[in-house]
Amino acid sequence: MAKEVLIAFIQSNIPVSGSALTNIIDQFAERLIKKNEFFLKEGTVSNDYFFLETGCMRAFTHDPDGNEVTTYFYAKNKYVFEVSSLFMRTVSTENIQALTDCAGYSITFETLNKLFHASPEFREFGRMMLVKAFAAFKQRTLELINKSAEERYENLMTTDRDVFQYAQLKHIASYLGITDTSLSRIRRESTKK
Amino acid sequence: MAKEVLIAFIQSNIPVSGSALTNIIDQFAERLIKKNEFFLKEGTVSNDYFFLETGCMRAFTHDPDGNEVTTYFYAKNKYVFEVSSLFMRTVSTENIQALTDCAGYSITFETLNKLFHASPEFREFGRMMLVKAFAAFKQRTLELINKSAEERYENLMTTDRDVFQYAQLKHIASYLGITDTSLSRIRRESTKK
DNA sequence: TTGATTTCTTGCCATTTGGCAAGCATCCTG
DNA sequence: CAGGATGCTTGCCAAATGGCAAGAAATCAA
């Protein structure tokens, strides 16, 4: 079984090897998600944690007026999960959809919990996932406050070029907290340079 | 020992009682934090988790231009911790400071971890803390994107009236992602009603 | 290939927010 | 109580962003 990338990912987060590691990765199942397919649909309870090896995905919800708001982009070699719904077992207000054909490894909530209780190493891994996702989110929030839309756009361009390539501009716009009109103008300005 | 509020707080998050509960709360130490005192200073590594029974606190960092940005307000009966620094053992970029005299219960990182390994119930509690803090943060980020500054202000007014009472307006402004000038204008408008 | 659909850009103008500086107000300290 | 610091408000104008509608470009399906 070719799970090298998953193994590398886990080991980049926590020190673990040998049978402890084997135990962990055996619980992950290969999974393909076709372009436009939903990994999570609002109104349902999320039941999977997913390591995305190739492809990219987008999370979005709807604001009170019914407009789509992109809440996150997931690039390859990243973990994909909706914290509240997965861990609090609540009905999700978010969707997570594949922007391209995706491949990776998934594990169910139940198996995740079994592993948490059985393996201190994996427990540490689980906590790291939460903590890192949280830290990334804080970073993003801070940017919303103290960077201009243009700076946020340029940041995204450089750090997430691949995601950027597959997402529609209106999705990127709502992720940046602006309208597609404004994004279009920002792009015009920044290509001038 | 009068830790009823702490007990109630833990029980509102996970089902636990008897000796398992006693084990947990015995690890928390009473702690007072005077007005303006720092619970966490940027440049240091956070080492405590704190349950805030009375009083309120503010988290803030500095943007690239050196301006203070308020990242969070903590009301009474809430937990206070800085995720990245506490759990990744990294140097904090954030400060957490008491807005009023505060009282509550704290537990060190080391003790926290011992408890995590020893008690499945507490493990669950720890996860809940992370998950709920994360969910709250996502909510806040979403508001920054799809609500106007005025709506965000009115929201804060109604949901966090007590915090609001002790924080300076410029702190509230940066929390809302606007300048103190704009906040002042928004307040003028909304008191007209 | 062609027509239909969707996405993206643009022009025009409105609204929101910001920057600065001055003026009040409040609070603290001696 | 006086003086000084700090925090809050306001006026003026600039900059950023939004809303709408039309048109251009890209995409998709027959």
Token code pair at residue B12: 């509102």
Residues B76, B102: Cα–Cα separation, whole Å = 9
What is the pLDDT at residue B91?
A: 98
Tens of pLDDT, residues B176-186: 999 999 999 99
Q: Is pLDDT at B165 greater than 90 in this prediction?
A: no
Q: Is pLDDT at A147 greater than 60 in this prediction?
A: yes
The model's confidence at residue A193, banded by pLDDT at 50, 70 and 90, is: low
For residue A49, give the amino acid letter.
Answer: Y
What is the pLDDT at residue B65?
A: 81
* Residues paired with residue B72 on neighbouring β-strands, in sequence order: B59
Q: Is pLDDT at B1 greater than 70 in this prediction?
A: no
What is the pLDDT at residue B62?
A: 92
> Is the pTM value of this prediction over 0.75?
yes
The Cα-based distances of A27 to A2, A110, A111, B125 in angstroms read 14, 11, 7, 24
Q: Is pLDDT at B64 greater than 90 in this prediction?
A: no
What is the pLDDT at residue A172?
A: 96
The model's confidence at residue B191, banded by pLDDT at 50, 70 and 90, is: confident
What is the pLDDT at residue A192?
A: 62
Tens of pLDDT, residues A25-40: 999 999 999 999 999 9
Which nucleotide in the DNA or RNA is closest to residue A176, CA to C1'? D17
Whether B169 CB is under 7 Å from strand D? yes
Q: Is pLDDT at A163 greater than 90 in this prediction?
A: no
Q: Is pLDDT at B193 greater than 60 in this prediction?
A: no
Residues B131, B6: Cα–Cα separation, whole Å = 19
Query: Would you call B87 and A140 a contact, using CB atoms and an 8 Å cutoff?
Result: no
Q: Does B91 touch chain A (CB under 8 A)?
A: no
With 0-12 CB in 10 A as exposed, 13-18 as middle and 19+ as buried, what is A179? middle
Which nucleotide in the DNA or RNA is closest to residue A148, CA to C1'? D16
Residues of chain A (126-185) having a beta carbon less than 7 angstroms from strand D: 148-150, 177-179, 181-182, 185
Q: Which nucleotides in chain C have some atom under 7 angstroms from a protein Cβ?
A: 7-11, 16-21
